């Protein structure tokens, strides 16, 4: 489990800092909480100050296409990492030294020339084309919540439209692709035995049912269901309220009632008296940002928070600033965690596979937070080691004496 802190610093900027990795026996809530408690305790942090939590469960969720289709589809997709997979495989077949390499290359070439493989790639391209802009919006540290919610709604509509109207176009494109490359196209009315099912419940279905129902519709429905689960009615309301803080077009979406509703989501930060004061501060805050040129042409909530600090207006609107910071630390997605896992694969290589957790964490912190360590002067580092040196020598003498 990778743990990343998201916070707003004294200047009003959103920061994300990697704390470390922790081994967990499983991903149940109790196990995760125990690990988080341990990490917080190590760094002297209080869990009572935690206001937002995000857990990326993608690694525990079955891949939609694999679950609805067959288990070896990801192995076929690895071909896509090559610049020219066909040429590389042909070279392996001709020049490969080991027979198992040649056999594997032959299997992959056969897979690439299979209608199922071609269909899956085209279908995934359709899905990823729709999700690209939403994915980029959700992975920004300085997230535009209003734009993210707008893209989310557009994304759902696009997926629903793809399900209802995209099948014929996709199938025609796949068939044309296969015909041009002399890849056998099955008759959609022919019967095929679904291989992924146990023999005792093996089912004979048409190719149309297999590709349209079991893969196409099932995959889109699963993605839509996951979106609805991730962005539930309550979550959507929360983000809709946050979007009212967006400064675009002179705070056109500003809605005091929704912002008070947002504050009520945080009863530990806004008591009944503060809610009354917040209502008054919001009125004055709106007058300020529409009158003061310093707040003109801002593009994000983070810019508003920074400008409040810069102009020292945060002292006059402390409750509004508190609401802004709470909105900023709420992650829509947890891209930093994924970057931490990717970095771990680079640092804990085959040559360093016995690296222990503490050493791994130290390396990951330096690697992920390189912008901080680049600011450190070599002289300060040397002085630190000089201070540590006598202590190490004393410890060494003590051990030898014993």
Ranges 55-59, 226-230, 370-374: which has the least confidence: 55-59
CA 262 to chain CA centroid, Å, is: 24
Rounded to the nearest 10°, the torsion over CA 128, 133, 137, 140 is 70
5-9, 72-76, 107-111 — most confident range:
5-9
* Pairwise CA distance, residues 273 & 267, whole Å: 11
Is the pTM higher than 0.85?
Answer: no
Q: State residue 118's pLDDT score.
A: 92
Any idea how long the chain is?
402
Report the chain's mean pLDDT, rounded to a whole number.
79
Helix (H) / strand (E) element for 130: namely helix 115-138
Provide CB contacts within 8 A for 174, sequence distance 6+.
115, 118, 119, 122
Residue 21 clears pLDDT 60, i.e. is over it = yes
113-122, 149-158, 388-397 — most confident range:
113-122
Per residue in 222-268, pLDDT tens? 999 888 887 777 778 888 898 899 898 899 999 999 999 999 999 99
Give which of 195, 175, 193 is closest to 185, Cα–Cα: 175
Instruction: Identify the DSSP state of 322.
Output: H
Instruction: State both tokens at 98.
Output: 């080991």
340 half-sphere exposure, CB direction, 13 A CA radius: 25
Per residue in 26-35, pLDDT tens? 877 788 888 8
Instruction: State both tokens at 388.
Output: 């540590």
Would you report the helix, strand and coil content of the chain in percent, each value rounded to 5? 70, 5, 25
Q: State residue 213's pLDDT score.
A: 93
């Amino acid at each position: 489990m990778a743990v990343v802190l998201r916070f707003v610093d004294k200047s009003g900027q959103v920061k994300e800092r990697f704390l470390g990795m922790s081994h967990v026996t499983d991903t149940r809530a109790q196990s995760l909480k125990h690990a988080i408690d341990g990490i917080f305790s190590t760094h002297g942090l209080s869990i009572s100050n935690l206001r937002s939590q995000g857990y990326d469960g993608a690694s525990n969720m079955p891949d939609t296409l694999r679950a609805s289709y067959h288990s070896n589809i990801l192995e076929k997709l690895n071909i896509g990492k090559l610049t020219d997979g066909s040429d590389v495989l042909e070279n392996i077949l001709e020049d490969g030294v080991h027979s198992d390499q040649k056999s594997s290359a032959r299997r992959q070439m056969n897979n690439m020339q299979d209608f199922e493989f071609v269909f899956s790639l085209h279908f995934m391209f359709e899905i990823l084309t729709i999700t690209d802009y939403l994915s980029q919006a959700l992975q920004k540290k300085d997230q535009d919540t209003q734009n993210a919610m707008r893209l989310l709604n557009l994304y759902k509509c696009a997926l629903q439209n793809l399900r209802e109207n995209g099948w014929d176009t996709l199938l025609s494109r796949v068939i044309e692709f296969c015909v041009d490359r002399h890849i056998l196209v099955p008759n959609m009315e022919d019967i095929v035995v679904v291989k992924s099912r146990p023999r005792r419940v093996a089912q004979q279905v048409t190719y149309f049912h297999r590709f349209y129902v079991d893969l196409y519709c099932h995959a889109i429905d699963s993605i839509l269901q996951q979106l609805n689960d991730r962005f539930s009615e309550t979550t959507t309301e929360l983000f809709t309220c946050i979007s009212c803080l967006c400064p675009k077009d002179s705070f056109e979406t500003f809605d005091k009632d929704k912002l008070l509703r947002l504050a009520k989501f945080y009863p530990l930060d806004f008591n009944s008296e503060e809610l009354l004061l917040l209502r008054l501060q919001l009125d004055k805050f709106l007058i300020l940002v529409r009158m003061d040129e310093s707040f003109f042409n801002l593009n994000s909530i983070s810019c508003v928070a920074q400008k409040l600090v810069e102009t020292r207006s945060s002292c006059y609107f402390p409750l509004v600033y508190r609401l802004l910071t709470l909105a900023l630390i709420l992650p829509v997605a947890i891209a930093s965690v994924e970057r931490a896992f990717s970095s771990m694969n680079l640092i804990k290589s085959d040559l360093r596979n016995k690296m222990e957790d503490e050493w791994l964490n130290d390396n990951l912190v330096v690697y992920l937070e390189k912008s901080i360590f680049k600011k450190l002067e070599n002289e300060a580092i040397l002085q630190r080691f000089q201070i540590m040196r006598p202590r190490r020598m004393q410890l060494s003498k003590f051990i030898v004496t014993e």
